[in-house]
Amino acid sequence: MTLQLEERPAIGYRWGGFVARRRWAVLGAWIVLIVLGGLSTPLLNSALQSPDFTVHNADSARASELTTKHFPQLGDGQGVIVFDSPTLSADSPEFRSAVTDAVEQARSTQGVGNVVGPFDALGGQISDDRHAALAVVALTGTPSERAITARKLQDELTATNHPDMTVGLTGIAALQNDLVDIEIGDITKAEAIGIPVALLILVFALGAVVAAALPIGVGLAGLALTTGLLFLLSGVTSINVLTVSIASMIGIGIGIDYAMFIVSRFREELARGKGVTEAIGIAMSTTGKTVVASGLIVTIALGSLVVIDAPIFRGIALGVGISIVSTMLVALTFLPALLAVLGPKVNRWALPARFRPAEVTNTTETSRWARWAHLVMARPVLFGVGATLVLLVGAAPLTSMSLGIDMGMAYLDKTPSGAAAQTVSTKFAPGALAPLTVVSTDGARNVDQLAAQIARDDRVASSFVQRADGQALIVVISETATDSPETSELVAQLRRQAGSDYAVGGPAAEFLDLSDEINAKLPAVIGFVLIVSFAFLVVVFRSILLPVKAILMNLLATGAALGLTVAIFQWGYGESVLGFHSVGFLQVFLPTIVFVVLFGLSMDYEVFLIRRMKERWDANADKSDEGNRVAVAEGLAITGRPITAAAAIMVVVFGSFVTASVLELKQLGLALAVAVAIDAIIVRMMLVPAFMRLFGHRNWWLPSLRRS
């Protein structure tokens, strides 16, 4: 039974008609926006920064403020110019001449404060074999400003030719610059793989090439709008490459999904004999309304990230939120205008009949998906308990999850900064790339005693004390890499030794503070997402039981996805297949981002599926358990193929990022791909019909607010 016109939400139906009547004006406006967004892509790429791992009001932030105030000669961050020659000795005139040229070049570069050359009084900057040397460069400004300075200095050093010697800049800013370049390449490669495969899936899911091309066009249009908006924002705030990676990954995936559902509903109404404008109105008032609901709940979930007092999370919330809103705008304006222009031509270039999906008719009881729904509902306990146990087994590795930050050094060995960093690690101490600072907070009390105690630690390669303005600062160079667990333990030990009279800073301290901030705020993030999701779903479903069930199932699915990610990336299962080397932990920000994103995305399929079931329930006079069974079967029969295709597309888009060189993109891509697969196969096709059958007509109960 189809909905009567008076039952359709008035706003959505009128909006569809409005866009259809003004289709050429809408298309013209969108073509301009898409072109401008496309032209801004290289400009945005050139403006991208590395993620900012600082935490406001943390101990490392306080150390940075005190260092900048009392020891400006150290700068806000450090770079290292590395001189390396297989033939020349540091004592040779040619070596010294090259050092002098590079040091003078650095001192004349804007954004560089003090430069301490290898032959200055500091000491410890010439290797034991006398064939390598270091110059320490003080970089000033914000993290984004330091990145710009590092890139400019690196280019200047690279342009200078020194026979028989390699001169390169490394350090946190320089390394992250090169990592940004690699990640931009990874994004491009993933999109080049994911989009064509998604198009192929769409052709078989929709049965026609023109219909399949529309969701791809919507996904790319949403990406173009997102790119343009992020480029505009880059003029007033820093946009990092991780934000763009996640925004691209999610924007393309949901853009294709949203468009596919709308196109499917439009074609369904055309097949039922509706005119083009009416079919668009129905699609907008049903599926379009669901798109709005789904987009809003994903955006709301992302908003919880602002609870974490760190720029990296606020940037991701902003960037991905822009991506989702852009995708919704495209799906609700650009797509219906295209459908109005195409009309029945949307079915052009159809596949042979045996490969096309069957047309949706008024009865779906005989469809393959309906038969599956009845099979599950005939044995709801078996399927419900079995699927739940599978998810719990998948989530089991979470009990041993370890978190850290991997700077991606393994992927930088062929870059200038990575090669220079390798020289530092082999001929000096790895910690020289990013020294720790222990700075006094209120006078230089017991500094010599503390410095001597620090120097005796086996994890410390060297340390020295500086004094200024009645304050003291101890520079500590660790024997271990900045992003290693051993250096994090050293930071914790330094804080215990120094007490409240000192603040410990440096990149390794920032990494530890970020981890602590995430752990402290994660319960608040989870609580916010669950409470808001529950309230939102009560309004959307007009039910109490369905939101509770949806939240519990989504928690299980998210837990299983993260558990499998732990097994693969922390335990190392599948290293050779996926082309990575396990560092023994997940990126510290991964579980929080994955939870928020997956919880929002998993609600998409829940909303699409349950709303179609509710359409059938509301249209049916039978409000008994049998009427519930029919509504569940028909809802699954109508949405089974589109949801499966949508999930396959998401898996392909997210999974394409597993080809990335950078570990964090591999982890994100795999976690999201696995979660969507679990959600579509186990949750939507097994748990939902099983529990809908168990609870019967009580699924639709809403006290006092239920419409008569």
* Residue 358: predicted pLDDT: 59
State yes or no: pLDDT of 52 exceeds 60: yes
State yes or no: pLDDT of 160 exceeds 70: yes
The verdict on 245 and 350 lying in the same domain is yes
Q: What band does 51 get if pLDDT is binned at 50, 70 and 90?
A: confident
Distance CA 487, CA 424 (A): 16
The verdict on 461 and 535 lying in the same domain is no
φ/ψ of 314, rounded to 5, equals -70, -35
The verdict on 368 and 385 lying in the same domain is yes
* Residue 214: predicted pLDDT: 94
Residue 688 lies in a domain: yes
Average pLDDT, the chain: 87
Tens of pLDDT, residues 457-511: 999 999 989 888 889 999 999 999 998 999 999 999 999 999 888 999 999 999 9
The verdict on 125 and 184 lying in the same domain is no
The verdict on 128 and 249 lying in the same domain is no
State yes or no: pLDDT of 698 exceeds 90: no
Q: What band does 708 get if pLDDT is binned at 50, 70 and 90?
A: very low
* Residue 606: predicted pLDDT: 78
Phi-psi region of 595 (alpha: psi -120 to 50; beta: other; left: phi over 0): alpha
The verdict on 489 and 367 lying in the same domain is no
Summarize the chain as % helix, strand, coil (round to 5).
70, 10, 20
Token pair 């101990």 in the structure block, residue: 59
**Mean per-residue pLDDT, 153-174:** 87
The verdict on 24 and 87 lying in the same domain is no
* Residue 414: predicted pLDDT: 86
State yes or no: pLDDT of 204 exceeds 50: yes
Kindly state the tokens that stand for 158.
């690279």
* Residue 473: predicted pLDDT: 93
Nearest-CA neighbor of 405 among 521, 296, 533, 491? 491
Query: Angle at the Cα of 213 (from 209 to 216), degrees rounded to 5?
Result: 150
State yes or no: pLDDT of 542 exceeds 90: no
* Residue 326: predicted pLDDT: 94
Handedness of CA 148, 149, 154, 159 (dihedral sign): positive
Query: Domain range for residue 264?
Result: 7-39+177-405+514-700
Residue 413 lies in a domain: no
**Mean per-residue pLDDT, 536-562:** 88
* Residue 355: predicted pLDDT: 65
pLDDT above 70 as % of the chain = 95
Residue that is last in its domain, among 472, 505, 538 = 505
Kindly state the tokens that stand for 522.
């994660």
Task: Classify 125 as helix, strand or coil.
Answer: coil
The verdict on 113 and 93 lying in the same domain is yes
Residue 48 lies in a domain: no
The least confident of 145-149, 519-523, 539-543 is: 539-543
* Residue 357: predicted pLDDT: 65
CATH number at residue 694: 1.20.1640.10
The verdict on 626 and 499 lying in the same domain is no
Q: What is the DSSP string of 146-208?
A: HHHHHHHHHHHHHHS--TT-EEEEESHHHHHHHHHHHHHHHHHHHHHHHHHHHHHHHHHHHSB
State yes or no: pLDDT of 530 exceeds 60: yes
Q: What is the DSSP string of 266-301?
A: HHHHHHTT--HHHHHHHHIIIIIHHHHHHHHHHHHH
Residue 385 lies in a domain: yes
State yes or no: pLDDT of 360 exceeds 60: no
CATH number at residue 442: 3.30.70.260
CATH number at residue 106: 3.30.70.1320
Q: What is the DSSP string of 574-625?
A: THHHHT----SSEETTHHHHHHHHHHHHHHHHHHHHHHHHHHHHHH-S--SH
The verdict on 185 and 76 lying in the same domain is no
The verdict on 13 and 107 lying in the same domain is no
What count of Cα atoms within 13 Å lies in the side-chain half-sphere of residue 657?
30
Is the pLDDT higher at 5 or at 215?
A: 215
* Residue 356: predicted pLDDT: 67
Is the pLDDT higher at 297 or at 519?
A: 519
* Residue 363: predicted pLDDT: 45
Q: What band does 10 get if pLDDT is binned at 50, 70 and 90?
A: low
* Residue 700: predicted pLDDT: 82
Residue 417 lies in a domain: no
Residue 318: what residue type? Answer: L
Residue that is last in its domain, among 505, 525, 547 = 505
Kindly state the tokens that stand for 146.
């330091």
Beta strands 132-139 and 471-478, pairing class: unpaired
**Mean per-residue pLDDT, 207-230:** 93
**Mean per-residue pLDDT, 268-276:** 89
**Mean per-residue pLDDT, 227-238:** 90
* Residue 640: predicted pLDDT: 80
Distance CA 601, CA 317 (A): 14
Distance CA 503, CA 494 (A): 9
Residue that is last in its domain, among 452, 481, 505 = 505
Q: What band does 76 get if pLDDT is binned at 50, 70 and 90?
A: confident
Nearest-CA neighbor of 304 among 326, 321, 291? 321
**Mean per-residue pLDDT, 427-436:** 91
Residue 61 lies in a domain: no
Distance CA 293, CA 600 (A): 11
The verdict on 17 and 83 lying in the same domain is no
Distance CA 627, CA 29 (A): 46
Residue 53 lies in a domain: no
* Residue 18: predicted pLDDT: 92
For residues 550 and 325, is the Cβ–Cβ distance under 8 A?
Answer: no
* Residue 8: predicted pLDDT: 44
Residue 578 lies in a domain: yes
For residues 491 and 405, is the Cβ–Cβ distance under 8 A?
Answer: no
* Residue 399: predicted pLDDT: 92
Our count of domains for the chain comes to 3
Q: What band does 36 get if pLDDT is binned at 50, 70 and 90?
A: very high
- pTM of the complete model: 0.85
Tens of pLDDT, residues 112-156: 988 999 988 666 789 999 999 999 999 998 888 888 899 999 988
pLDDT above 90 as % of the chain = 45
- Considering all CA atoms of the chain, what is the largest pairwise distance in Å, rounded to the nearest integer? 96
State yes or no: pLDDT of 50 exceeds 90: no
**Mean per-residue pLDDT, 329-344:** 94
